[in-house]
Structure 1
Amino acid sequence: MENTTQNSWQEIVSKIKLFLKDTFDISHDTNRSATIEDIKAGVDMKGQNAWVLIFSILVASTGLNTSSTAVVIGAMLISPLMGPILGMGLSLGINDIDLFKKAIKNFGVMVILSLLTSFLFFSIPIFQNETPELLARTFPDVRDVIIALTGGLALIVALSRQNKSINTIAGVAIATALMPPLCTAGYGLATAKWDFFRGALFLFSINTIFIASATFIVVRFLKFPYEAYANSKRRKRISQFISILAFAILVPSIFMFYQLYKKSDFNQKADGLIKNLRTEKGILVLDVHKDFENKQISFAVVGKSITKLDIEQFKSQMKTLGYDGCDFKVLQDAENLETISKINEIENSFLSNQQLLVKKSQELLEKEKEIFELKTQLQANNDKLFPFSEITEEMKALQDDIESVSYANVISTDFYNTDTIPTFKVTWKKNSKEKSKASENIRLQNWLRKKMKNEKVIVTN
């Protein structure tokens, strides 16, 4: 029974191993000779490749100038930057000194063309504004190294396949690490911003080393054949030189990766402490600067002051996080409380003014209401004082055929304006002629307008 169980487990383990091998094994589909020829053919930076490089650098520079990620990606799709770098990695992997010399020469041509193109573009004054996309390429980060390393691995693995359907995608991954730093270095040259130039060129150099290292690692892992030399002594000498050169590149690359990782980790830990300072103590923190090389964190605070005990606590927390001897420099005003008091005084004064304005607004509304009531009352008094009897007696004296007279203030509107019209309604005796009535109405209306000193008066039948 135990033997049966043991055999079952061995079978399961064997199937898992077989599945993993089928999934991750890349050696069975490797076309070594064709890959070497393809890389050698792409090393040259002349003719078509040179012009395409110039155009792609111009497109990438435009994208960085406008902070347009889509435009930068478009430039990466047509960029031939990876040719000489792959050539360097391959030459180290197969001990081909001639290919290495050729790759180095074309790599130099590639860098000079790229820098010159971006320099000319950014020399135009309207393209010299400092954008976030340019600023982001002025210092190396561990994530840039990861992009370069994984992009280089992806490209050489894709190139070594018999089916090269994903070469473009891998090429974009490499261009991601190479093109923006080169364009930013050209911007630094054109604007004499040497921090931009040095930082971007350093980032480009790191990415180049890691892409070439990735190519070298995969070439050796897939056991590409070494370059054959007729002279055995020369072959041995070249092999030793290449091995020393590869070792000289790989070891600093590992150390560089570790340093960039520690720098990113240091910045992340410092950001965490400053975030806690903001949220837990309610202190406004400004102008944060983190110096990994000197283990120094400096910032300015507004509002509450930070005590020496707080700073000692920060140092202890950084030591716990793995960074002993970290120095904190805090810029703060000793008269912070007085400043806050003045701010509060200004706020209180503002609130008092707002309350006063509200009170004045209420008083104005009350005055307007009082004026409206007085006008209404005045109109009512005018109505009471209107000498209706006197006027009608005079109308009767002017025209004996009048039988009766009515008077009212008619409110009229044309939906744009509303007005009150004094209106007299005259009833004539039955034996009066219609023509005579019309003319007499007009005569009475004119007389009443003069009498009442109001041109709005109307007389109707």
Structure 2
Amino acid sequence: MQENLGQDNSTPPDTSKDTGENVKKDFQGLLGSVKKFLWELLDIRTNTDQQATKEAIIADIPFKGHTSWILICSIFIASIGLNANSTAVVIGAMLISPLMGPILGIGMSIGINDIDTLKRSLKNFGVMVVLSVLTAFLFFKFFPLRDESSELLARVAPDIRDVLIAFFGGLALVIARAKKGTIASVIFGVAIATALMPPLCTVGFGLAIGNWDYAAGAMYLFTINTIFIALATFLVIKLLRFPMVRYVNSQRRRFISRMASLVAVLVMIPAGITFYNVFQESLFRKDANSFVDEKIATYQFSGEGRFLEDFTDIEFQDGEDPFLEVVFMGNETIPDNVIATWEAQMKEYPKLRGATLNVVQGSKNEAADQLKYVNELYESQKNMLSSKDEKIAFLESELIRLNKGTQGQIPFSEISLEAKANYENLARLGYSYLISTDFDKTDTIPVFEVSWKKEAGRSQTQKDVVKLHEWLKLRLQNKDLQIKEVILD
């Protein structure tokens, strides 16, 4: 009994170690399942037809015969769509254009070390660019209507989004090309998204009207698209491990391999520089727009004044002397201390440090300039006006406000000549606005400063001040204007 009791009191076996090992095995199994799922989800190597992909890309490289005429027709259609500001027509032109062939050929030939295909791709790429620009140039040169539509102007200032669209569009295109049974919808979608044709049409437009900035900006956008589509093609070809072209002559093989590597580096360097510059400009524009929305647009006018947000001009200029221009309209002047505060607040935005703020004020412009702003304001907003009645109401309100602004402007040159003719003792006449407040309201008061000749008697000048004041109030129909005497040294 004592022995049995001793055995019953013995310590039970420890199972915590076995439990920990089981949990660890289950976790490892879960990770393996997730890894397998992701591999099957994202792997594109197993369903790739390398030979068919290579043959399809090479077949699309040449520009001759039918392909050339298809390109010419699509360029004409795109030019008409850009001229008519029709997005649907531009999309249709991009769907039928054969522009992708040489670009994919460049990326693939560098990736597989095929110098002959690279030469053929570059030659046909040059033919494609020249033929496209020449066709667009002839259209815009001889077509009687050459309006600068928003569709055209959208292709002269690339930003970071264009870089990303070109790169991921190129990835999607070459992945679709590599799949067994090419996905046609992807090819059409990439043709629309990357928009190779509209920039070339805009280059022709810029050359036709003699605007080199338009032509250069559009060619820059086309170059961005080309470089990043070719880069994406190169990376996918390397990822899929397409077989390298072999040469019998080992010396020639090494030379071609080095040349292909050099071309790849030359493509990647401008791609990286372009991405950096466009990214910096994008950050600058983001800070500039935030500054305008948070500081400029919130300014409260006490009288007739308006901030024309549509005329805000943001210029990065490759980081050299960037500036921000804002436009105000009306008869109320922005005080200098407010402008100084805005300039100081720009330093709160990292990318705006070193940038210049230009404030264009309507009250300091001639009436003709203000009418120009009204016309430009209408043109910029007319697409958002849905009916004739809204257009008429919009124009009438702007003209009424403009008339109020011009009524508040004083014809100082005429006033000074009349005053000189009526008051022979008048030596000097000045004019300015005084902004004052009693903390309940703010007033803008016109103030005339007068100085009299030293030989004039004080009694006479006192009478002249009273008469001049009454005459100015009557002449300018403003009972609030004031006169201030200044003694000449």
- TM-score w.r.t. structure 1 length? 0.69
1:44 partner letter: P
1:93 pairs with one of 71, 95, 111? 111
CA distance in 2, matches of 1:345, 1:30: 71
- Displacement of 1:333 in angstroms is 7.2
Q: Distance in 2 between matches of 1:139 and 1:345?
A: 36
1:134 corresponds to:
152
Matched, 1:105 2:123: yes
Distance 1:275 1:138 in 2: 25
Aligned to 2:427: none
Residue in 1 aligned with 2:263? Answer: 245
- Report Cα offsets for 1:128-181 as digits up to 9, x if no partner: 1211100111121211112211111111000011121x2343344245421000
Using the alignment, how far apart are the partners of 1:112 and 1:37 within structure 2? 26
Q: Is the 8 A contact 1:60 1:179 kept in 2?
A: yes
Structure 1 residues 334 and 62, CA, compared in 2 at 3 Å: closer, same or farther?
Answer: closer
SS of the residue corresponding to residue 281 of structure 1 reads coil
Could you tell me whether the CA contact under 8 Å between 1:92 and 1:246 is conserved in 2? yes
Q: Secondary structure at the match of 1:236?
A: helix
- Summarize the Cα distance change of 1:239–1:306 in structure 2 as closer, same or farther, 3 Å threshold: farther
Give secondary structure in 2 for the equivalent of 1:123: helix
Give the 3-state SS of the residue equivalent to 1:43 in structure 2.
Answer: coil
Encode CA deviations 1:350-395: one digit per residue, 9 max, x unaligned: xxxxxxxxxxxxxxxxxxxxxxxxxxxxxxxxxxxxxxxxxxxxxx
Distance in 2, Cα, partners of 1:238 & 1:162:
30
Distance 1:52 1:333 in 2: 51
Q: Verify: 1:25 aligned to 2:49, yes or no.
A: no
Alpha carbons of structure 1 residues 215 and 304: separation in structure 2 relative to 1, 3 Å = same
The worse-fitting range, judged by mean Cα deviation, of 130-139 and 302-311 is 302-311
Q: Give the SS at the match of 1:207.
A: helix
Quick one: structure 1 residues 273 and 7, their matched pair in 2 at CA, closer, same or farther if it must change by over 3 Å?
same
- Structure 1 segment 161-180 matched on structure 2, within 5 A: 161-164=179-182, 166-174=183-191, 176-180=194-198
Amino acid at match of 1:289: D
Is the CA contact (8 Å cut-off) linking 1:311 and 1:328 kept in structure 2? Answer: no
Instruction: Please state if 1:264 is matched with 2:268.
Output: no
Q: Distance in 2 between matches of 1:285 and 1:274?
A: 10
How do residues 336-355 of structure 1 correspond to structure 2 at under 5 angstroms?
Answer: 343=404
Q: Note the aligned Cα RMSD (angstroms).
A: 2.6
Deviations 1:1-31 (A, max 9, x none): 1112122211211111111111111111111
**CA displacement, residues 398-426 of structure 1 (integer Å, 9 cap, x when unaligned):** xxxxxxxxxxxxxxxxxxxxxxxxxxxxx
Paired residues in the alignment total 344
Aligned equivalent of 1:290: 314
Match of 1:429 in 2: none
Q: How far has the Cα of 1:330 moved from its partner?
A: 2.2
Q: How does 1:299-318 map to 2 (within 5 A)?
A: 299-302=326-329, 303=332, 305-308=334-337, 311-318=340-347
Q: CA deviation at 1:315?
A: 4.3
CA–CA distance in structure 1, aligned partners of residues 132 and 271 of structure 2: 24
TM-aligned CA distance change 1:89 to 1:140, over 3 Å: same
Partner residue of 2:355 out of 305, 326, 331: 326
Q: Which amino acid aligns with 2:187?
A: A
Can you list the C-alpha shifts for 1:198-217, whole angstroms capped at 9, x where unaligned?
11111111111111111111
Classify 1:299/1:244 alpha carbon distance in 2 versus 1 (closer, same or farther; 3 Å): same
Task: Report if aligned partners of 1:155, 1:171 keep a CA contact under 8 Å in 2.
Answer: no
Structure 2 CA distance for partners of 1:334 and 1:168, relative to 1, 3 Å: closer
Change in CA separation of 1:257 and 1:89 when aligned onto 2, cut-off 3 Å: same
Residue in 1 that maps onto 2:250: 232
Contact 2:288 2:324 in 1 (8 A): yes
Corresponding letter in the other structure for 1:329: N
Q: Distance in 1 between matches of 2:352 and 2:42?
A: 39
Determine the C-alpha separation between the residues in 2 that align with 1:334 and 1:42. 60
Secondary structure of the residue aligned to 2:60 is helix
Partner of residue 79 from structure 1, selected from 87, 97, 101: 97
Q: CA deviation at 1:58?
A: 1.1
Residue pair 2:287, 2:352 contacting (<8 A) in 1 also: no
Opposite residue 305 of structure 1, the aligned amino acid is: I
CA distance in 2, matches of 1:157, 1:345: 63
Unaligned runs of 5+ in 1: 348-461
What per-residue deviation string (whole Å, max 9, x for no partner) do you get for residues 10-59 of structure 1? 12111111111111111111111111111111100111111111111111
TM-score of the two chains, using structure 2 as the length reference: 0.66
The residue type paired with residue 234 of structure 1 is R
For the residues of structure 1 that align with 2:105 and 2:70, how far apart are their CA atoms? Answer: 19
Distance 1:62 1:345 in 2: 42
For 1:274, the equivalent position in structure 2 comes to 292
305-314 vs 135-144, greater mean Cα deviation: 305-314
